Amino acid sequence: MRAIGYSEFGAASDVLAMHDIAMPEPATGEVRVKLAYSGVNPSDAKARSGTRPGVLKPAFDLVVPHSDGAGVIEAVGAGVDPARIGEKVWIWNGQWQRAFGTAAEAITLPAEQAVTLPDGVSLEAGATLGIPALTAAHTTFGGGDVAGQTLLISGGAGAVGHNAVQLAKWGGATVIATASPSAFERVKAAGADHVLDYRAPDLAAQILSLTDGKGVDRAVEVEFGANIDLLAEVVRANGTIAAYGSQIDMTPTLPFGPLLFKAITIDIVLVYILEDTARTAAIAKLHDALSAGALHPAIHDIMPLEDAAKAHERVMSAGRNGAVLLKI
């Protein structure tokens, strides 16, 4: 079968190539999914580039990248109900700690990692759910229901943030989002009650004014290190910061005093290793929101499998409005 893969780290155009590999057979407890779309995420591009500290070479001789995808189950291993054959599914952790991900015509993986798509949800949308949507669901609802709360969502135009805005609004929260002015209308259309310029020098004052000085109940944060001082000021006492990224400052200095005297909870989220209960809850929220027509994952571009290198470059480029998919 056709698969995109790499055997060494480097620029996408230098190391990603088309390979012909054997069609995988599902082992006990596994399914084989005929893939329609593969979701490309920044984490996939970072892993391929070799920029992670202490990782000098790929963990496998050939890596087929990407953890997200969607398709149809076409074979099952022992212990899996044959009735699942023909199901439309979306995939999580396709390539997490495994050699072969979704940038291929098919993938085998544990049956629970192929989640049945709700009726009416497209395979394209399904291919966006693994990393960006699960991250949005857990960072939004990981502390419970948000009805009546005020949430601050940074990077409201990003893939995770845009989903989080929709989910929080559907969940009954008042949503304050930050973004670039050029994205304000898009973020408002997603459901944000207020959209603020993330570069505004008086951003903290604006947020506190919108909450009558009380601060926000929960912050969904894409740049933890860069924004921790702001967060310590605008999150209310006993509030929560759910942080899923800190690319600008990976070794932040924390203002412990302000955080301490508000007893602020810092919840650092890595969607790949969510415990089963948390993942099941996040999946349920996603499916409920999708079925209610309240969540519309944005897709920036769909490219053919052979353009995987361009897709890796696109997903890391500025101004992206949604997911980047490969059509298999």
Give, for 265, the enclosing helix (H) or strand (E): strand 265-268
Amino acid 309: pLDDT? 98
Give, for 209, the enclosing helix (H) or strand (E): helix 203-210
What angle in degrees, to the nearest 10, is found between the helix axes of 159-170 and 134-141? Answer: 50
Distances (CA, A) of 164 to 168, 170, 196, 221, 222: 6, 10, 16, 10, 11
Phi, psi of 277 (to 5 degrees): -65, -45
pTM score, whole prediction? 0.96
- Identify the bridge partners of residue 179 per DSSP, sorted by sequence position: 197
- Identify the bridge partners of residue 246 per DSSP, sorted by sequence position: 223
Measured CA to CA, the distance from residue 94 to residue 230 in angstroms comes to 36
CB atoms within 10 A of CB 237: 10
Print the SS3 string covering 62-109.
CEECCCEEEEEEEEECCCCCHHHCCCEEEECCCCCCCCECCCECEEEE
DSSP annotation of 214 reads S
Closest CA to 141 of 217, 80, 89, 70: 217
| Helix, coil or strand: residue 20 | strand
Q: Are 230 and 178 in contact (CB under 8 A)?
A: no
Q: Are 72 and 36 in contact (CB under 8 A)?
A: yes
Amino acid 319: pLDDT? 84
**Sequential pLDDT tens for the chain (328 residues):** 999 999 999 999 999 999 999 999 999 999 999 999 999 999 999 999 998 778 889 999 999 999 999 999 999 999 999 999 999 999 999 999 999 999 999 999 999 999 999 999 999 999 999 999 999 999 999 999 999 999 999 999 999 999 999 999 999 999 999 999 999 999 999 999 999 999 999 999 999 999 999 999 999 999 999 999 999 999 999 999 999 999 999 999 999 999 999 999 999 999 999 999 999 999 999 999 999 999 999 999 999 999 999 999 999 998 899 999 999 9
Strands 150-153 and 174-179: parallel
Closest CA to 244 of 322, 142, 325, 167: 142
Amino acid 81: pLDDT? 98
Using the structure block, give the residue that is written with the tokens 């409005």.
321
Q: Are 84 and 30 in contact (CB under 8 A)?
A: no
**What structural domains and CATH numbers belong to the chain?**
2-128+298-327 (3.90.180.10), 132-272 (3.90.180.10)
